[in-house]
Amino acid sequence: MKCILELAEDENIIREPGGPSEGGDKMTDEKILALLRSDDEKGLTAAMSKYSRLAASVAADMLESKEDIEEVTSDTFYKVWNNRASIDTEKGSLKNYICMTARSCTLNKLRTLRVTEPLPEDERDLGIEVDFTDESAAEHNRKIIAECIRSLPSPDREIFIDRFYYSLSLTEIARRNGITVKRVEYIIHKSKRRLRGALVKGGILL
């Protein structure tokens, strides 16, 4: 099974609904993409002006050093420029692409800091088969997952995201929250049970 949080829209999970994510430049994404695909560096400048705050906020959710956050933000737009010809907006918006790229760069940085660990298969498993084969069912289920995770109280929501979205180790999560590893395990178990209940009640299962 895929990582639980990879089943939902990235920006819908890590950003609060209606929260600020864009800069002052209001150039449309279509115009930005057109400039990028024509190898015009003005497209990169516009993308950075519009979405650098979003990329930095993704990094800042997990990184504690200002220098690391700036490095990840820079790496994000370096990848956007290098991959400009292959950005497919039919699979998601430019905003979501940048969000996902920032997450990938943040994960890479966290790995260099040695605070992540592979998630055991049984920890990924919700014990149910959620339908992601049909496009409409997948969209419906992603919304339920995102809404359920957003509704978790603090710090449960942050702990759940730290574990399943950023693959932080239980020890690192406990350190950041000033609680025991056992407490982290309990919160994760409780949150998974709540998510499973939401999907059983309103999701589309196989």
Helices (H) and strands (E) in the chain, counts: 10, 0
Same domain, yes or no, for 105 and 159?
no
Tell which residue, 26, 48, 4, 9, has the closest CA to residue 139: 9
Specify the pTM. Answer: 0.67
Is residue 17 very low, low, confident or very high in pLDDT (cuts 50, 70, 90)? very low
Same domain, yes or no, for 30 and 91?
yes
Q: Which residue range is the domain that position 134 belongs to? A: 116-202
Structure confidence at residue 169 (pLDDT) = 92
Same domain, yes or no, for 107 and 124?
no
- The last residue of one of the domains, among 112, 130, 152, is 112
Structure confidence at residue 25 (pLDDT) = 59
List the CATH number of the domain containing 43: 1.10.1740.10
Please provide the average confidence, as pLDDT, over all residues in the chain: 85
Same domain, yes or no, for 20 and 72?
yes
For 90-114, how does the pLDDT look when each residue is reduced to its tens digit (9 = 90+)? 777 899 899 989 989 998 998 898 8
Structure confidence at residue 132 (pLDDT) = 78
Cβ(48)–Cβ(58) under 8 Å? no
In a domain, 3, yes or no: no
In a domain, 1, yes or no: no
Same domain, yes or no, for 120 and 107?
no
Is residue 126 very low, low, confident or very high in pLDDT (cuts 50, 70, 90)? confident
For 64-84, how does the pLDDT look when each residue is reduced to its tens digit (9 = 90+)? 899 999 999 999 999 999 999
Cβ(183)–Cβ(173) under 8 Å? no
With DSSP H G I counted as helix, E B as strand and the rest as coil, what are the percentages for the chain, rounded to 5? 70, 0, 30
Q: How many angstroms separate the CA atoms of 28 and 38, rounded?
A: 16
Same domain, yes or no, for 128 and 147?
yes
Same domain, yes or no, for 38 and 125?
no
